[in-house]
Structure 1
Amino acid sequence: MSSPGSSIISALGAGSGVDFIKLADDIAAASFAGQRNNLTSRRQSLEAQVSAAAQLRNALTSLASALGERIRNGDLAPRGVVANPAVATVSVAPGALPRGTFSLEVSALASAQTLVSAPLASSDALVGEGTFTLRLGTVDGTSFTPDAARDPITIAVSASDTLASLASKINQASGGAIAAYVASGTGGARLVLKGREGAANGFVVEATGMGGGPVPGDLEYLAWAPGASAPPLQSVARDAAFSLDGVAMTSPSNRVTGLPGGFSLTLGATNVGAPTTISFGGNSSALSAVMGDLVAALNDITAQVNELAAPLGGPLGNDNGARALRRSLAALAGEVVMPGAAAGAPRTLGDLGLALNRDGTFRLDAARLSRALEDQPEAVAAMFTTGASGVFATIDRFVRANSSIGNPGTLGGSLTRYERELAASDARLGKIAEQQEALRLRLTREFTASERRVAAAQSTLAFLRQQVDLWSARER
């Protein structure tokens, strides 16, 4: 780095013959070399510790996240089977545990009202200026009962609107309550209006045109209300009707939720007079698979701990958080998963086949897991929920206990400490750089002043030598 002193020394011709600029740089660097080297070495060690602790902490959080996702997506829930699959399909909500069998008889499927208008020449035919209104409610035979809780859907129709543009306006204004499209057939183009499933989603069409009456080209031509002379509906809005174990029920949709034990049905056909059976069984294959995956994930974490926390050469070889993680892993098989389990029912991860080898790795005791699935299928299924007790809750507590940044004795606490020490090392290196530069500048100023004095002395010496030479010449 150049300075005012360096240019002055160059201008003076470096009369002393010494490179004071390099000398100042070398002295300043040497003065702080020991501290800088120690901090640099410590910083490299801290970076390795931060990386190792973060790697283990991420492995732990990934384990909890993956297990939670497996349980929440319902893959491990009991499987429901409908004896006549054409009548309905069954699904179970994550964490739900429906039990036993149910009788199902469907007498009616939910349907949506479908209305087809009188024909026009084409989809580009003008419908006439005016106001087009859809009122929602219940259509029952020749009567209509409006739903006071829902506002009418009112659409302004211009003189340039066609059957196709009117359908587009209906779709935009209804927000999905009514779907509209134009169907062109042998009799011309017709406006088709379809509501949502359920008896409460019927509708009527009110149209106020320019006074021409219900003729093509006047908006009133598209109006509809139930009555003896009204065109019949293509389908009527109605609720699904069914009985479950002899109890009559209705649903506005063919998707029926809130059933006993947390299962849902999607109705597909009626079976009046021929009830079908819904039964539930444990999902043994999925539960065995998730236990196998859990063992593999724990062994992966164990391998990382053995490498990163090795007593010789491991960046976390003397880390309290890593030692605590080892202890937690060793105790995991004995962790009580279901504290309120009945006598003889599985309570621990060990009861589900999680076993610890002598070298600290894990294995799956398939025979023990199979016995639990055969003898206590419902109790095992209850362990795989997202509640306060269960396999996920146990693994989640294990992960949180070892990754908490607020506890200095955990891996998370170690990571926080290493990051804090790394930041302090960076700050100290920055301070040393400032001090080194300040020393270099001070030495440069001092050497510059010395060089000036040397140059002045040399100039005086040269003058004196010149005078002596002159005096000597005169005397000769």
Structure 2
Amino acid sequence: MDNPGASILSALGGGSGINFMQLADDLAEASYGVQRDRIERENETLEARISAASLLRSTLTGLASALGDRIRGGDVAPRAAIGDPAVARVATTPGVTPSGSFSLEVTQLARGQTLVSRGYASADAPVGQGTLTIRFGRVDGASFAEDTGRAPLDLAVGPDDTLADLAARINGQAGGALNAYVATGADGAQLVIKGEEGAASGFVLEPASAASPPEAVPGDLSYLAWSPASDAGELRATARDAEFELDTVARSSPSNRVTGLPGGMTLDLAATNIDAPTTISFADDPGAIAAVMGDVTAALNDLVELLAENAAVEGGTLGSDAGARELRRDLQGLTSRVVMPDAAEGEPSTLADLGLSLNRDGTFRLDNARLSATLEASPDGAAAMFTTGVFGVFATIDQLARDNSLSSDPGSLGGSVVRFERLVERGEERLARIEEQQAALRERLTRSFVRSETRIAASQSTLDFLRQTFQLSDN
């Protein structure tokens, strides 16, 4: 901030020989510098505590998130096995635990309609001006039942459009419902149009030629007309649904990818096995559970190490923080916490049952013998602990992260962060007031020094006058 008395002191010529400008700055700084330095040091400490508490909080939240992703991704879900893998591929819905076995007999695969037009001279042959309408529905023998709930596809065809242009236009405007291309073979260039899987995805071609009169010859759009009643060999495959039996119950699907099955099972049908049903079974994967528990143990130890570094009683950034103390208590009680309150007697219900053990120094270890015993004695009970439901390993770690991140709880890390941030804000406000007070003091001192310098300059002028007078009288 510019000193308002600077120009005045400069104009007076500094008759006293004292740098009043510097003196005013030094006095103002001496009056408030100590307070300012102390508050700035306090704010630096608070910023470090915010950083440490936020790091612990985010590490814990990251652990919960990563565990949830692995469970939802099916890392510990029972593994599906199918007797004849050529018939279908089996997958499970993340977070759902299927069990038991199922018989599967596929009698028909879903497929889409395939239509091949009559021949043209080449892919560059014109198809004729007009509008080609493609309607969707069911083709059954010589009949077609339109799906009135599905909008037809209207394609405007220009006078210079070729067979290749029309194929590209179908692909561009069908939104994936149709796939068209030009195939050149013994019968010339032919437009191939393929529809989606499912009996309801059949289609007919209804051209409206601009020619007058229209004539069903190459170069006239009418040449592309097709319906099942007029089929002359253009229909190469009829759209149909997949048909199969699951545990002898007849089912159908418009797609070979079948969802909504028991236990969250999904099937990708690949072949038929008429009169030769195969078996689908699910088995728990002990190795996957052991791998997840090993990773959880390692992640918890990383958190413990970070907590020890930042919350040491002596020298730790969070040494006396309530949130850090609460997290330490929560971690120490983690192994004995009941994560499956509804577990039957003898079934695993705690993280200790899954092998998580606490060392004397507060770190964790995985007791593989305890884990193996649990997996052998109660494989289903152990698997049930790895879901995204309200109980289980994930729910426990997730709740631990939420509790320690709660900003409204002064005893959590979240509450600590809020408290530290408020103290920083107050420190910034105090620094702003000190800056204003220091500037005001500097201004008052400068004005006082201006008055003093004025008086000194006047006295100096009087003294010079008297000296000159005495010198004249002596002469």
Q: TM-score if structure 2 supplies the norm length?
A: 0.97
Match of 1:158 in 2: 158
Match of 1:313 in 2: 315
Match of 2:279 in 1: 277
Structure 1 letter corresponding to 2:266: S
Where do residues 326-341 of structure 1 align in structure 2 (5 Å cutoff)? 326-341=328-343
1:227 alignment partner, SS class? helix
1:234 alignment partner, SS class? strand
Deviates more, 1:151-160 or 1:196-205: 151-160
Task: Give, in angstroms, the shift of residue 4 of structure 1.
Answer: 4.4
Structure 1 letter corresponding to 2:139: V
Task: Give, in angstroms, the shift of residue 470 of structure 1.
Answer: 1.4
Match of 2:465 in 1: 463
Superposed CA RMSD: 1.3
Q: 1:97, 1:304 → 2: CA distance?
A: 35
Q: Classify 1:228/1:130 alpha carbon distance in 2 versus 1 (closer, same or farther; 3 Å).
A: closer
Q: Classify 1:27/1:229 alpha carbon distance in 2 versus 1 (closer, same or farther; 3 Å).
A: closer
Q: 2:274, 2:234 → 1: CA distance?
A: 26
Match of 1:15 in 2: 15
Match of 1:94 in 2: 94
Match of 1:131 in 2: 131
Q: 1:236, 1:396 → 2: CA distance?
A: 52
How many aligned residue pairs are there? 473
Q: 1:380, 1:286 → 2: CA distance?
A: 11
Task: Give, in angstroms, the shift of residue 2 of structure 1.
Answer: 4.9
Match of 1:291 in 2: 293
Match of 2:175 in 1: 175
Q: 1:104, 1:6 → 2: CA distance?
A: 96
Q: 1:90, 1:4 → 2: CA distance?
A: 84
Q: Check if 1:352 corresponds to 2:362.
A: no
Deviates more, 1:369-378 or 1:104-113: 369-378
Structure 1 letter corresponding to 2:175: G
Structure 2 letter corresponding to 1:387: G
2:70 alignment partner, SS class? helix
Match of 2:6 in 1: 6
Q: Classify 1:445/1:360 alpha carbon distance in 2 versus 1 (closer, same or farther; 3 Å).
A: same
Q: 1:354, 1:165 → 2: CA distance?
A: 66
The CA deviation string for residues 420-441 of structure 1, in whole angstroms up to 9 with x for no partner, is: 1112112211221121111112
Q: 1:281, 1:387 → 2: CA distance?
A: 20
The CA deviation string for residues 308-356 of structure 1, in whole angstroms up to 9 with x for no partner, is: 1101000111011110001000111111111111221111111111111
Match of 1:444 in 2: 446
Q: 2:43, 2:381 → 1: CA distance?
A: 52
Match of 1:405 in 2: 407
Q: 2:313, 2:349 → 1: CA distance?
A: 35
Task: Give, in angstroms, the shift of residue 287 of structure 1.
Answer: 1.1
Match of 2:120 in 1: 120
Q: Classify 1:228/1:180 alpha carbon distance in 2 versus 1 (closer, same or farther; 3 Å).
A: closer
Match of 1:103 in 2: 103
> Residue 111 of structure 2 contacts residue 197 of structure 2 at CA under 8 Å; is this kept in 1?
yes
> Residue 4 of structure 2 contacts residue 443 of structure 2 at CA under 8 Å; is this kept in 1?
no
Structure 2 letter corresponding to 1:207: P
Structure 1 letter corresponding to 2:137: G
Match of 1:322 in 2: 324
1:156 alignment partner, SS class? strand
Q: 1:140, 1:185 → 2: CA distance?
A: 29
Q: 1:457, 1:293 → 2: CA distance?
A: 87
Q: 1:294, 1:201 → 2: CA distance?
A: 48
Q: 2:408, 2:208 → 1: CA distance?
A: 70
Q: 1:29, 1:155 → 2: CA distance?
A: 82
Match of 2:85 in 1: 85
Structure 1 letter corresponding to 2:51: S
Match of 1:263 in 2: 265
Which of 226, 245, 251 pairs up with 2:253?
251
Task: Give, in angstroms, the shift of residue 229 of structure 1.
Answer: 4.8
1:181 alignment partner, SS class? strand
Q: 1:79, 1:229 → 2: CA distance?
A: 48
Q: Check if 1:203 corresponds to 2:203.
A: yes
The CA deviation string for residues 181-219 of structure 1, in whole angstroms up to 9 with x for no partner, is: 222223321111111000111111111212332110110
Task: Give, in angstroms, the shift of residue 233 of structure 1.
Answer: 1.9
The CA deviation string for residues 235-275 of structure 1, in whole angstroms up to 9 with x for no partner, is: 21111111111111111111011111111111111111211
2:215 alignment partner, SS class? coil
Q: 2:335, 2:303 → 1: CA distance?
A: 15
> Residue 29 of structure 2 contacts residue 438 of structure 2 at CA under 8 Å; is this kept in 1?
yes
5+ long unaligned stretches in structure 2: none
Deviates more, 1:144-153 or 1:216-225: 144-153
1:190 alignment partner, SS class? strand
Q: 1:260, 1:5 → 2: CA distance?
A: 88
The CA deviation string for residues 118-176 of structure 1, in whole angstroms up to 9 with x for no partner, is: 11111111101112111111111111111121122111212121111111222232222
Task: Give, in angstroms, the shift of residue 232 of structure 1.
Answer: 4.4
Task: Give, in angstroms, the shift of residue 228 of structure 1.
Answer: 6.4
Match of 2:193 in 1: 193
Structure 2 letter corresponding to 1:184: T
Q: 2:248, 2:129 → 1: CA distance?
A: 54
Deviates more, 1:314-323 or 1:154-163: 154-163
Q: 2:330, 2:236 → 1: CA distance?
A: 67
Match of 2:35 in 1: 35
Match of 1:26 in 2: 26
2:17 alignment partner, SS class? coil
> Residue 3 of structure 2 contacts residue 442 of structure 2 at CA under 8 Å; is this kept in 1?
no
2:161 alignment partner, SS class? coil
> Residue 132 of structure 2 contacts residue 207 of structure 2 at CA under 8 Å; is this kept in 1?
yes
Structure 2 letter corresponding to 1:263: M
The CA deviation string for residues 260-310 of structure 1, in whole angstroms up to 9 with x for no partner, is: 111111111111121111110012111111100000111111111111110
Q: Check if 1:362 corresponds to 2:364.
A: yes
Structure 2 letter corresponding to 1:16: S
Match of 1:55 in 2: 55
Task: Give, in angstroms, the shift of residue 397 of structure 1.
Answer: 0.5
Q: 1:85, 1:4 → 2: CA distance?
A: 90
5+ long unaligned stretches in structure 1: none
Structure 1 letter corresponding to 2:378: Q
Q: 1:323, 1:5 → 2: CA distance?
A: 56
Q: 1:4, 1:422 → 2: CA distance?
A: 32
Match of 2:389 in 1: 387
Which of 226, 229, 239 pairs up with 2:228?
226
Task: Give, in angstroms, the shift of residue 109 of structure 1.
Answer: 0.6
Deviates more, 1:28-37 or 1:176-185: 176-185
